[in-house]
């Protein structure tokens, strides 16, 4: 079961701890709108980030964010990161050794 979620957009990244798994609440319009509110996100490096996301590239900004927020994976670690795209999940696993699920 996923323990962390990676939110990615053109303007930045966020890592969230998964505390409760709920599929129904994610379909509520107000929740979707709050997630998509780009005014809460910085516009720095927007083009670079969206290009890297679409190509499945782990850039330095994403790498440092994940290293800062997720402990180094240990043998038998139960940390699993959810990523939005399979190529990005594979790249994160390859670059950082973090188990990912797309």
Domain parsing of the chain, residue ranges = 4-101
| Average pLDDT over all residues of the chain | 77
- Residues 85-102 have a mean pLDDT of 91
CA dist list (Å): 34 to 2, 28, 55, 71: 22, 10, 26, 28
Is pTM beyond 0.75 here?
no
Q: Per-residue pLDDT tens for 46-75?
A: 777 888 888 999 998 889 888 888 866 666
**In 10 A of CB 87, how many CB atoms?**
15
Q: Per-residue pLDDT tens for 37-47?
A: 655 555 556 77
Can you give the pLDDT at residue 69?
84
């Amino acid at each position: 079961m996923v323990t962390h979620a990676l939110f990615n957009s053109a303007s930045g990244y966020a890592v969230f701890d998964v505390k409760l798994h709920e599929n129904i609440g994610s379909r509520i319009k107000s929740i979707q709108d709050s997630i998509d509110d780009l005014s809460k996100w910085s516009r720095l490096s927007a083009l670079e980030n969206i290009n890297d996301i679409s190509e499945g590239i782990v850039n330095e900004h994403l790498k440092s964010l994940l290293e800062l927020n997720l402990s180094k994976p240990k043998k038998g670690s139960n940390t699993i990161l959810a990523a939005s795209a399979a190529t990005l999940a594979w790249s994160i696993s390859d670059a950082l050794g973090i188990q990912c699920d797309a």
